[in-house]
Amino acid sequence: MDIRNIAIIAHVDHGKTTLVDRILHTTKVFRENQDSGELIMDNNDLERERGITIFSKNAAVNYKGIKINVIDTPGHSDFGGEVERVLKMADGVILLVDAFEGPMPQTRFVLQKALQLNLKPIVVINKVDKPNCRPDEVHDAVFELFFNLDATEEQLDFPTYYGSGKNGWFNDSLTEIEGIEPLLDGILKHVPEPVVNEGPVQMQITSLDYSSFLGRIAVGKVTRGSIKEAQQIALVQADGSIKKSKVKELYVFEGMGKRRTEEVVAGDLCAVVGLEDFNIGDTICDIDVPEALPVIAVDEPTMSMLFSINTSPFFGKEGKFVTSRHLRDRLFKETEKNLALKVEDSDSADSFLVYGRGILHLGVLIETMRREGYELTVGQPQVLVKTIDGKKHEPYENLVVDVPADFSGKVIDLVTQRKGEMLIMESKGEMQHLEFEIPSRGLIGLRSQMLTNTAGEAVMAHRFIDYKPWKGVIPGRNNGVLISKNQATTTAYSIDKLQDRGSFFVDPGEDVYIGQIIAEHIKPGDLVVNATEGKKLTNMRASGSDDSVRIVPKILMTLEECMEYIQDDECIEVTPKHIRLRKTLLNEEDRRKQSKSMKA
């Protein structure tokens, strides 16, 4: 069979999508004069804005008469659910490692999954054109990582390629050449052909696609037999139930798109149109011999958030979808394709508990929903707590920070305040490499504090390890907030008078409501203020005082920064045009009563 199925895995920002660009250009997927742009596979608006891959994607190229199915995967641990399922479609993996940073926490996570599935690894050490790069040391570190992950002798004997995706060359030595042909030859040589079992058709659905014309499309790898257009098939679901269905249309991947075909044989990836009510993990099989493949197991979520309808006075001004029914339908629809996400109904009919892998995982969902026209309120992220042997346990993470040596003391101080324990401290060129074990709770809000204290120089990454005993109280935000006293439009006159009390999140001329958080207080404790008072006009001229208003621009926070900033009595109002911070109870009297009852 002239097919190779390969997934590209790596830590975030090590160059996966750039490598896919090079493969697409080298195999002439585009015409000579066609402007394809960069990071071709990141075609989602959110991915382009953030510069990260969120969804795994497929492309197919032809090299020396052999079809190579390439799967680009996300590098961030919050999207690990995407990686776990698409690895089922591959027979080999390209492990991409930065020549300076070496193996990072996410490299370990995805490599472990690949080795468990017995995939053939090819190691590519990228960015060897960087200053301070250390390809030989990184190669040794990768070998050590393989060894620590109990790789077989065959897996330990991995081929290694060096190069620079940006400059468009890869070679099996450090000699710079033109082009990436040695790497493509290596894929043909080292990645095995798909293993094909004899027998009737079997295919596990590992991914979902959607088309406004065709509806939901099932994507997966045919592991046995062949699948044909108009064929009657059985769909075996996770609970063991069997549904009869029919294949309406069949597509294989070609270049960046799909091509319609009449038959797909075992070993190839395909997209099936016409199935109803299917989920990821279901098996398509012969109608007479319905044998299911093992269900895809995905790691459990580690964090939860309460999603509610928008209850602010500005409710319904901007969004198209504002009711609890809209919110519920959208969240449950998301769980069909987002395996690492779970949704549960809460005690209130207007609120839903959403479980995810981390702040970024949930943040991307909220951002997608607001762009689709939803209005909602989200509460403070909470880590999931388990009771093991009668004791309270919480998730712990391995935190890796690379920072200039001058700032390492500040980083250690920040992490230890949040109950982190240092495991490793070593020098990498001019940078200090620090590794900690820290409760997941301690990571919430840590990134922004760390970037402030290290002048933006710290590079941080983390991955989930395991549940361990509860570490006690972790200090939250030190400062209180300034809360709006009334509903009106802010004025420069009022904000100017209040600027010495705190840093503002709103500019003059913005509409605010009672209970909205408009600034961070310079001290602990909250303060209710009036930022909407206008200057009383008289016919007397005050010499020189009118032109002295100097307003500091407002602090702009991203959605993830807001999620990390809020405390348990606060929430975020998310609408298509605005992200506002507010108190859960807008009325000051209600907040007083609640704090008294909690003290009692």
Residue 134 and residue 82 share a domain? yes
522-576 per-position pLDDT tens digit: 998 899 999 988 887 777 665 555 556 778 889 998 898 899 889 888 999 999 9
Q: Say what the pLDDT of residue 242 is.
A: 85
Q: Predicted confidence band at 46 (pLDDT cuts at 50, 70, 90)?
A: low
**Residues forming beta bridges with residue 71, ordered by sequence position:** 7, 58
Residue 28 and residue 173 share a domain? yes
Residue 186 and residue 236 share a domain? no
496-518 per-position pLDDT tens digit: 889 999 999 999 999 999 999 99
- 413, 440, 469 — which closes off a domain? 469
Residue 490 and residue 451 share a domain? no
Between the alpha carbon of residue 271 and those of residues 204, 239, 248, 335, the distances in Å are 11, 23, 11, 20
* Phi-psi map region of 457: left, alpha, beta (phi>0 left; psi -120 to 50 alpha): alpha
- Asked whether residue 546 is marked as a ligand-binding residue, the answer is no
- Asked whether residue 393 is marked as a ligand-binding residue, the answer is no
- Asked whether residue 13 is marked as a ligand-binding residue, the answer is yes
- Asked whether residue 18 is marked as a ligand-binding residue, the answer is yes
How many Å apart are CA 501 and CA 521, to the nearest integer? 6
Rounded to the nearest integer, the mean pLDDT of the chain is 84
How many Å apart are CA 502 and CA 555, to the nearest integer? 11
Residue 450 within any structural domain of the chain:
yes
Residue 448 and residue 488 share a domain? no
Residue 218 within any structural domain of the chain:
yes
Six token digits for residue 461 = 């990454």
57-114 per-position pLDDT tens digit: 778 888 888 888 888 777 666 666 677 778 888 888 888 888 888 887 777 777 888 8
Q: What are the residues whose beta carbons fall under 8 Å from the beta carbon of 540, sequence distance 6 or more?
A: none
CB 361 within 8 A of CB 367: no
The parent domain of residue 503 ranges over 481-562+583-599
Of these ranges, 404-413, 426-435, 538-547, the one predicted with the greatest mean pLDDT is 404-413
How many Å apart are CA 4 and CA 21, to the nearest integer? 18
129-142 per-position pLDDT tens digit: 888 788 888 899 99
Residue 439 and residue 540 share a domain? no
Query: In the chain, how many domains are there?
Result: 4
- Asked whether residue 335 is marked as a ligand-binding residue, the answer is no
Residue 520 and residue 431 share a domain? no
- 216, 251, 286 — which closes off a domain? 286
Q: What percent of the chain has pLDDT over 90?
A: 21
- 190, 217, 251 — which closes off a domain? 190
Count other Cβ atoms within 10 Å, centred on residue 48: 13
Q: Predicted confidence band at 577 (pLDDT cuts at 50, 70, 90)?
A: very high
- Asked whether residue 491 is marked as a ligand-binding residue, the answer is no
Residue 42 pLDDT > 60, yes or no? no
- Asked whether residue 107 is marked as a ligand-binding residue, the answer is no
- Asked whether residue 558 is marked as a ligand-binding residue, the answer is no
**Residues forming beta bridges with residue 481, ordered by sequence position:** 520
How many Å apart are CA 540 and CA 545, to the nearest integer? 12
- Asked whether residue 14 is marked as a ligand-binding residue, the answer is yes
Strands 283-286 vs 232-236: parallel, antiparallel or unpaired: antiparallel
- Asked whether residue 521 is marked as a ligand-binding residue, the answer is no
* Phi-psi map region of 448: left, alpha, beta (phi>0 left; psi -120 to 50 alpha): alpha
CATH number of residue 519's parent domain: 2.40.50.250
3-class secondary-structure state, position 206: strand
CATH number of residue 119's parent domain: 3.40.50.300
